[in-house]
Amino acid sequence: MKHPLQQSITTLQGVGEERASDLSLLGVRTISDLLQYFPYKHEDRRIRDLTEVGHEEKVTIEGQIHSEPAVRFYGRKKSRMTVRVLVDNRYLVTCILFNRHFAKKQFTIGKTAFFTGKLDKHRMQLTVQDYSFQPKRQPDAEQDAGGIVPVYTVGEHVSTKFLHKLIEQALQKYQDHIVEILPNALIQKYKLMERRNAIKAIHLPQDMDEFKLAKRRMIYEEFFLFQLKMHALRRTKREQIEGVAHQIDTEQIQHFLSSLPYKLTNAQQNALQDITKDMTSTSAMNRLLQGDVGSGKTAVAAIALYASNTAGCQGAIMVPTEILAEQHYQSMQSFFKDTSVQIALLTGSSKAKERREILAGLQMGLIDIVIGTHALIQDTVVFSKLGLVVIDEQHRFGVEQRRKLRQKGTSPDVLFMTATPIPRTLAITAFGDMDVSVIDELPAGRKRIETYWVKPDMFDRALDFIRKELAAGRQAYFICPLIEESEKLDVQNAIDVHAQLTQALPQFKVALLHGRLHSDEKETVMREFSQNEAQLLVSTTVVEVGVNVPNATLMIVQDADRFGLSQLHQLRGRVGRGEHQSYCILIADPKSEIGMERMRIMKETSDGFELAQQDLELRGPGDFFGTKQSGLPEFVFGDMIHDYRILEIARDDAAKLVQSDAFWQEQIYPQLLEYLVHEGVLDSETLD
C-alpha cells in the first residue's frame, strides 16, 4: 500500500487532471512533492516604525488612504498611479503603483491599506510591489501583511495564492504522516526542530523566531544527507570497484627521484605517499591533488605516472587547453629525458598522419604516456593497458567528460589536479567522494612575489619599470581582459596594448597571444617567449595556468579589478619561477568596494588558500569555479559559505555514522537507508 505522502496530488480538494498537469510542470506530482516544494525566499512584512527603515529598504506599511488616486497613462495599457497614505498619523507617504489603474476605485479616502515595496526615504515615496486591504493577521499568509510571507516559484497557470492554499490543505491532512529522517540522537544533541514541525514552519511561519529554528533544522538536514550520500558512495561503490593494483618497482622510483635536480618538499613527499598507497591498493584511486601556484604538483604527477609505467601500465594526462597540453608535454619530456618512457601529445590540432601513429602506438602499448585535450576522450582513442589517468584543472571539465576518460581503461586510478587552491568549505562539499591531498608548501628558495597596485594614471611609471626589467635581461607578461574593443566594457584590449607597447619599447620584441590565434600561431608565440626570442608577452588570460618561463620576472595585469582573486593569484604565479626577484603590478581604478577590496587583499596576501577563501566569500561558489559543470550541489536552505560550520559538523556526523557497523548490519536507521536507495547509492536488496 502506498505511503500517504506518495499519493497523487489529485487527492487534494480543488486539484483535477488539468490542475495536476500544471503542477507537474513544477515537479509536483505527489503530496510529498508538494510539501517539499519550498519557497525560494521569505519576505518580512511585519509592520515597522518608519524611523527604523533605511533608504531604499523594502518595507511593509499600514496606513489610511489620504487622497484620491491620480492615474497617468503612458504607452499601450501602461499606467502610473499615485496614492497618498497617512502612516501612524505622522508620515504622509506617496505610494506609486504601476499598471494597477483598474483597481483605482478600491482606494477610497480613509480606508486602511497595506503596501509592500521599496522606500525612498528622502522623498517619502514607496514603489509598490504588492498591496492588500486585509487586516494584519488574516489566516491566509499571502495576505498576512504583518508577518513572514513565503515566496514560491510559480508557473503560468499556478498562482502563489492557489499554491499556498494547497500546501495549507496538505499540511492539515498529512502533517502527521511526515516521517523523521534524522537520527534521534542528533536531534537531541543539536536541539533541532522535528521534521514535520520544521516543514510546516517553512511554509507557514508564525513569527521570525520559529522560521529561524525551522531553517536551522533544514540546513543541517540538507548538509547531513548530502554528506551521508558522499560517504556511503565512497564505502559502497568506490571501495567495491576493483582498480588497477599497481606492482610498483620501488627501486626504479628511488633511482628516478635521485635523478631529479631538486629534493621534494615534505608536502610533495606526503602527497606522493598518499598516491602510491592508493595505486598499490586493489580499490580504484579517486584522489584530488590541490596546491598553491608553483607548489610542484606536476612533479608529483610525473612521479606517479612513472610509477604506473614501472608496473607495466600506460598513463594519460587530460588538460583543458592546447597551450597547457604543450606545457605539460614539454615538462614530461624534461622529466623523462633519461628514461625509456615514450610520450605523445594528442590534441585537436594534431596532423592526421601523426594522429594515426599515436592512436596505433597507444593501442599496441608502444606509447607509455599521452598528454592531450578533449581529443583523448574520442572513441578512436584506445589504450593497451591504461593504469593511471591524471586530469588537470579538473573543475574545467564536465562530469561526463571525466567519466569518458576513465572508461578508456578497466577502472584505472584517477588523480585530479587543480592549481586553484580550493577552500576547505568547497573541497568537503564538491569533492566529498574523493580523497584529498594538499601541497601547501613551496619549494625551497622561492622568493615572495612583490605585488603593487597602481592607478591607470601611473602607467608611465609602470612602463619605466618594464623597460628596466627587460634591459636587465628578464622577461614580462602584460595581461589584458579582452581581445578586441567592446562598447560595453571600458577595458583595454590585447591588440591595442600590443601596438602601444611595441611603439614604446622598440628595442625589445613584443609578442601577442590570445585565444583566437590558430594553435600553430600560439605554439610559435609561446616558443618564442619561452626561448627569450620575445621579451614581452601581451596576452589574454590564456596564460593563467601551466605556462612556465623561469626568466619571466614581471607580471602586469590591466584592469585587474575585473578579475577574481583566484585568477589574479594564478596570473601572479606565472612569475617567480626562477632565481631572480619577481614582481606583479596590478593596474586598476576600481569603482566598487569589492574591486578595491580585491586589490588590497592581493597586495597583502600571498597564500593561495587564504586568497581562495576570501574570493569565495566575495564572489560565491558559482563564480569561484567559473563553470556550472563543477559538480557543486545546489542547496535549498544551506549556504556553503555562511553555513560552513554546520556543513563541517554534518560532514563529521555523516562520516561517523557510515563508518559504524551498526548502520549497515542492523536496520536501526531505515529512513536513511531508504534515502540512500532512492538516491541510487544502495540497491534495494540491501534493505532485505
Instruction: Tell me what pLDDT residue 220 has.
Output: 97
Residue 291 CA to residue 304 CA, distance in Å, equals 16
For helices 593-604 and 608-619, the axis angle rounded to 10 degrees is 170
Gyration radius of the chain's alpha carbons = 31
Which ranges constitute the DSSP H helices of 484-549? 494-504, 519-530
- The distance of Cα 576 from the centroid of its chain, to the nearest Å, equals 28
All residues at 6 or more sequence positions from 410 whose CB lies less than 8 Å from its CB, including other chains? 244, 386
Q: Could you give the CA distance from residue 35 to residue 196 in angstroms, rounded to a whole number?
A: 10
Write a three-state SS string for 231-258. Answer: HHHHHHCHHHCECCCCCCCHHHHHHHHH
- Which of 673, 207, 183 has the alpha carbon at shortest distance from 195? 183
In this prediction, residue 630 carries a pLDDT of: 45
In whole angstroms, give the CA distance from residue 626 to residue 393.
12
The number of angstroms, rounded, from the C-alpha of 491 to the middle of its chain's C-alpha atoms is: 26
C-alpha count within 13 angstroms, C-beta hemisphere, residue 344: 26
Residue 333 CA: distances (Å) to CA of 329, 336, 340, 526: 6, 5, 11, 17
Q: How much is the pLDDT for 627? A: 40
Instruction: Tell which residue, 230, 195, 188, 166, has the closest CA to residue 22.
Output: 166
What pLDDT does residue 666 have?
Answer: 60
- The three-point CA angle 235-238-244 to 5° equals 135
Q: Which grid cell is 402?
A: 571525466
Each residue of 67-87: pLDDT tens digit?
999 999 987 778 999 999 999
What per-residue confidence (pLDDT) applies to 307? 95
- Name the residue among 475, 630, 321 with its Cα closest to residue 616: 630
Q: Can you tell me the distance from the alpha carbon of 108 to that of 127, in angstroms, rounded to the nearest whole number?
A: 19
| C-alpha cell recorded at residue 126 | 514607496
Please report the pLDDT score of residue 466 as a whole number. 96
Q: Do residues 448 and 583 make contact, with C-beta atoms less than 8 angstroms apart? A: no
CA distance 674 to 6: 14
Which residues of the chain, if any, have pLDDT below 50?
A: 136-146, 487, 490, 545, 626-631
